[in-house]
DNA sequence: CTGAAAGCGCTTACAG
DNA sequence: CTGAAAGCGCTTACAG
């Protein structure tokens, strides 16, 4: 089956204003003026060009326009990957909000590729700013940031905390974990199992600090209150990992009254692991996740988690970008913290009394 | 804290080959030759330019290069949204595989925006092909395809079946559902509850056809074998929707022995709904999902589902694109079917005997 | 309304 | 190795 190419379709495909002007039967200059909505044109001329546009589907060459200075504001977004739902949400939100401000977003995904060539590509496209989103190799990013800086291009790092000289917007994970810890303390929990906290490539350190400080504020010692059995397992799929960790805790005979998991998947795995061994959530053990993904609602019991507040984060990002686009590079770097939101659900409750 | 701008950083930001040539102290022509790796240059000259590149971070303007005919192959991908995990997987896979073939991907997300302006943008960028991915308004896409066709730009529609004149790569949902139905028939199921099949904007029709044909092949009537209570609910969040549908079926006193859900989320909701009313899966009711997302493994029991075979789909897409890029438009449209993969897990088993 | 011209940043022959 | 020139597709003064 082929598409029907009927009468109105011109034989020739038009790719430049000269060709287009010839097709319309007007001067190149005149056509250009119509295209740019300049005054002093007869209605009839405008209509003629308009009609020809519809017939031919002609669109001026963006590359030539760019050279003439008619370029939309553009931002290059460098994503580490797009396998992680909260990251994809941020990307979608950023893209949408920038479009509302007439900023074009170029998206590139590193994921096994060469981030250096991506940055070069953005630079060759003369983007007005570069955004990094995801968990990168810190040295690599720091190096890119230096390159961008000497190039005069503003940059922004979302959610990767602690890169030197980086404009950063960062979810205050410490604060989120402190809120979570306080919630559990309020329920009488005193012994906590940490699930997945020996990870190094994620921003685990900040999270641990939050737990530590919340415990200290109530007079508890982190070392005495928490347990970690991560070393017993190779990190695999999060869900299976959480399940195996729960089993290990049960077998260790030192089962805490609450599990604090690195993310929702591990938490859900742990809930399964507990259930398989006849333990109830939150009756026997309370369980918490992180990220507040949709699946938190799909488990029984539903999962207490910490929300990343994607929209708030991206609002701040967009404001930052708009402020810096087209401006000379500031020498001061800015670091903005976003406060996460604790979402309490059914998986957390009063600590079981021994 | 500010980033350190040390000795090697030039005061001036270099944005053109002329400026760069002046900086190096060579002719523009010579610099250009080095940049393009042309022969007949002294090692010393090459090194000099190389060093200057490192010092200044100069990257030639992609827009000017494009005008001179030095343009990488590019594909524009128009995504309906990126909220749906299998869709995001396809995007990531397509992006990666095209990059491996040195094709640059421009990604745009419609999602409440104006798809016409996106197509215009792609056209102005003179992309070599446009890919549509997601569930679009058919008339709108058909119109875009016509525009692209008169423009001489190849196009490809992934996973939206039945658009006239469209090069299509399509998951053969009918076949997947037939396999699923046969699996259930083999287990003795004869009464099926359809969950979410009254949806019209998704490719539900094809799926229903698969079920219908599988039933017919075994001598069963679709009308007598299936039940649908979708009309009792407003479609909300999939999970809640599935749960409510399960409740309705239980209350209707005509509970089928198997639920066939439109997607994994609805299936998982239904499993919860059954459990809440004291019914076991698959003991009392078997449940199937669609998409084979990660969450299929995170439920108890794990969920039988149909896998979209993202990689196979995208392999076919990449082959198609590579074949059509830079070629004159073919008049014949091609439609390629991908066979889905039934993944049997714990949520399906023998039908309960009455 | 038209036409010739300059120029955006590049590359590539073409003479030196 | 250098330099002047042409030209990619556009826009914008500038004279008709």
Cβ-Cβ contacts under 8 Å for B247 (sequence gap 6 or more): B273, B276, B277
DSSP state of A291: B
Which bases of strand C sit closer than 7 A to a protein CB? 1-5, 7-14
Q: Give distance CA B67 / C1' D9 (Å).
A: 7
Percent over 70 (pLDDT), chain B: 96
Confidence of residue A33 (pLDDT cuts 50, 70, 90): confident
Average pLDDT of the residues in B4-32: 74
Of the listed ranges A237-241, B4-8, B35-39, B105-109, the least confidently predicted one is: B4-8
Percent over 90 (pLDDT), chain B: 67
pLDDT of residue A162: 83
Higher pLDDT, B56 or B105: B105
Residue with tokens 């198609």: B320
Higher pLDDT, B41 or B5: B41
Q: Is the dihedral of CA B203, B87, B162, B116 positive or negative?
A: positive
Q: What does R_g of chain B's alpha carbons equal in angstroms?
A: 28
* B303 in reach of chain A (CB within 8 A): no
pLDDT of residue A323: 95
Q: Give distance CA A59 / C1' C3 (Å).
A: 23
Whether residue A69 has pLDDT greater than 80: yes
> Is the C-beta atom of B45 closer than 7 angstroms to strand D?
yes
pLDDT of residue A7: 35
* Cβ–Cβ under 8 Å, residues B276 and B284: no
Residue B113 and residue A99: Cβ atoms within 8 Å? yes
Whether residue B102 has pLDDT greater than 60: yes
Of B112, B272, B275, the CB nearest to A96: B112
Q: Give me the residues paired with residue B79 across strands.
A: B109, B133
* Cα distance between residue B289 and residue B307, in whole Å: 10
For B224-274, what is each residue's pLDDT tens digit?
999 999 999 988 788 889 999 999 999 999 999 999 999 999 999 999 999
For A241-269, what is each residue's pLDDT tens digit?
999 999 999 999 999 999 999 999 999 99
Taking contacts as CB-CB distances below 8 angstroms, the residues of chain A near B106 are 106
* A82 in reach of chain B (CB within 8 A): yes
Q: Which CATH superfamily does the domain covering A17-67 fall into?
A: lambda repressor-like DNA-binding domains (1.10.260.40)
Average pLDDT of the residues in B26-40: 85
Same fold, B73-166 and B173-307: yes
Q: State residue A108 phi and psi, 5-degree precision.
A: -130, 145
Confidence of residue A10 (pLDDT cuts 50, 70, 90): very low
> Is the C-beta atom of A17 closer than 7 angstroms to strand C?
no
Residue A121 and residue B62: Cβ atoms within 8 Å? yes
Residue A1 and residue B152: Cβ atoms within 8 Å? no
- List all residues of chain A from 22 to 81 with a beta carbon under 8 Å from chain B: 56-57, 59-67, 81
Whether residue B111 has pLDDT greater than 80: yes
Sequence spans of domains, chain B: 17-67, 73-166, 173-307
Of A104, A106, A124, the CB nearest to B59: A124
Confidence of residue A11 (pLDDT cuts 50, 70, 90): low
Whether residue B5 has pLDDT greater than 60: no
pLDDT of residue A201: 65
Whether residue A153 has pLDDT greater than 80: yes
Whether residue B74 has pLDDT greater than 80: yes
DSSP per residue, B143-206 = HHHHHHHHHT--EEEES-TT-TT--EEEE-HHHHHHHHHHHHHHTT---EEEESTT-SSSTHHH
Whether residue B1 has pLDDT greater than 60: no
Residue with tokens 């410490």: A174
- Number of neighbours of residue A142 by Cβ within 10 angstroms: 17
Which range in A155-164, A187-196, B39-48, B234-243 is most confidently predicted, on average pLDDT? A187-196
pLDDT of residue A15: 86
Of the listed ranges A107-111, A230-234, B214-218, the least confidently predicted one is: A230-234
pLDDT of residue B6: 37
Average pLDDT of the residues in A20-36: 87
Whether residue B136 has pLDDT greater than 90: no
pLDDT of residue B25: 86
pLDDT of residue B202: 63
Taking contacts as CB-CB distances below 8 angstroms, the residues of chain B near A327 are none
> Chain A: residue nearest B113 by CA?
A96
> Is the C-beta atom of B39 closer than 7 angstroms to strand D?
no
Minimal Cα–Cα distance from B9 to chain A, Å? 6
Confidence of residue A88 (pLDDT cuts 50, 70, 90): very high
Residue B13 and residue A62: Cβ atoms within 8 Å? no
Q: What is the dihedral of CA B49, B55, B57, B60, to 10 degrees?
A: -20
pLDDT of residue B354: 63
SS3 of A57, please? coil
Nearest to B308 by CA among B199, B185, B176, B207: B176
- Which nucleotide has the least CA–C1' distance to B25? D2
* Cα distance between residue A328 and residue A326, in whole Å: 7
Helices (H), A152-280: 173-186, 204-217, 222-225, 238-251, 264-276
Which bases of strand D sit closer than 7 A to a protein CB? 1-5, 7-14
Residue B104 and residue A121: Cβ atoms within 8 Å? yes
Whether residue B154 has pLDDT greater than 50: yes
> Is the C-beta atom of B32 closer than 7 angstroms to strand C?
yes
- The two three-digit tokens of residue A231, written as one number: 């070393």
pLDDT of residue B10: 46
For B285-332, what is each residue's pLDDT tens digit?
999 999 999 889 888 899 999 999 999 999 999 999 999 998 888 888
Residue A109 and residue B125: Cβ atoms within 8 Å? no
Average pLDDT of the residues in A325-344: 93
Whether residue A282 has pLDDT greater than 90: yes
Confidence of residue B201 (pLDDT cuts 50, 70, 90): low
First to last CA, chain A: 74
> Chain A: residue nearest B264 by CA?
A298
Average pLDDT of the residues in A36-51: 84
Q: Which one of B71, B93, B106, B107 makes the best mutation probe of the A interface by having the most chain A beta carbons within 10 Å? A: B107
> Is the C-beta atom of B151 closer than 7 angstroms to strand C?
no
Residue closest to C8 C1′ by Cα: A67
Topology adopted by domain B173-307: Rossmann fold (3.40.50)
Whether residue B4 has pLDDT greater than 80: no
* A297 in reach of chain B (CB within 8 A): yes
Q: Give distance CA B206 / C1' C7 (Å).
A: 57
- Which nucleotide has the least CA–C1' distance to A66? C8
* B160 in reach of chain A (CB within 8 A): no
> Is the C-beta atom of B26 closer than 7 angstroms to strand D?
yes
Whether residue A138 has pLDDT greater than 50: yes
Distance of CA B297 to the CA centre of its chain: 21
Of A3, A63, A125, the CB nearest to B67: A63
Residue closest to C3 C1′ by Cα: A27
- How many Cβ pairs within 8 Å bridge chains A and B? 172
Average pLDDT of the residues in A342-349: 98
Whether residue A160 has pLDDT greater than 90: no
Whether residue B145 has pLDDT greater than 90: yes
CATH architecture observed for domain B73-166: 3-Layer(aba) Sandwich (3.40)
Whether residue A271 has pLDDT greater than 60: yes
pLDDT of residue A354: 63
Average pLDDT, chain B: 91
Question: Which phi-psi region, left, alpha or beta, contains residue B196 (left: φ > 0; alpha: ψ -120 to 50)?
Answer: left
pLDDT of residue B7: 35
Residue B333 and residue A2: Cβ atoms within 8 Å? yes
């Amino acid at each position: 089956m082929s598409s029907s190419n009927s009468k109105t379709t011109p034989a020739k495909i038009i790719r430049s204003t000269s060709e287009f002007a010839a097709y319309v039967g007007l001067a190149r200059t005149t056509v250009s003026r119509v295209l740019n909505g300049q005054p002093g044109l007869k209605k009839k001329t405008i209509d003629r060009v308009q009609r020809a546009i519809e017939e031919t589907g002609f669109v001026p060459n963006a590359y030539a326009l760019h050279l003439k200075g008619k370029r939309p504001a553009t931002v290059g977004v460098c994503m580490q990957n797009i396998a992680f739902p909260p990251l994809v949400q941020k990307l979608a939100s950023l893209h949408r909000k920038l479009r509302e401000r007439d900023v074009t977003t170029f998206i590139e995904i590193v994921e096994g590729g060469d981030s250096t060539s991506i940055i070069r590509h953005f630079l060759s496209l003369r983007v007005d700013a570069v955004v990094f989103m995801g968990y990168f190799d810190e040295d690599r990013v720091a190096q890119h940031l230096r390159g961008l800086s000497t190039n005069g291009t503003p940059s922004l790092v979302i959610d990767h905390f602690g890169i030197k000289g980086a404009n950063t917007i960062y979810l205050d994970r410490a604060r989120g974990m402190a809120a979570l810890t306080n919630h559990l303390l309020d329920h009488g929990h005193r012994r906590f199992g940490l699930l997945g906290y020996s990870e190094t490539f994620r921003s685990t350190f900040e999270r641990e600090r939050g737990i530590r400080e919340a415990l200290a504020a109530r007079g508890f010692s982190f070392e005495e209150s928490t347990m970690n059995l991560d070393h017993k397992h190779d990190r695999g799929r999060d869900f299976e990992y959480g399940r195996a960790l729960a089993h290990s805790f049960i077998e260790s005979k030192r089962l805490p009254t609450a599990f604090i998991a690195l993310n929702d998947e591990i938490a859900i795995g742990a809930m399964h692991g507990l259930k398989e061994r006849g333990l109830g959530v939150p009756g026997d053990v309370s369980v918490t996740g992180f990220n507040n993904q949709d699946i938190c609602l799909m488990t029984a019991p539903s999962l207490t988690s910490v929300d990343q507040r994607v929209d708030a984060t991206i609002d701040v990002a967009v404001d930052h970008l708009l402020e810096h686009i087209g401006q000379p590079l500031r020498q001061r770097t800015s670091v903005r913290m976003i406060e996460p939101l604790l979402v309490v659900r059914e998986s957390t409750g009063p600590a079981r009394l021994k």
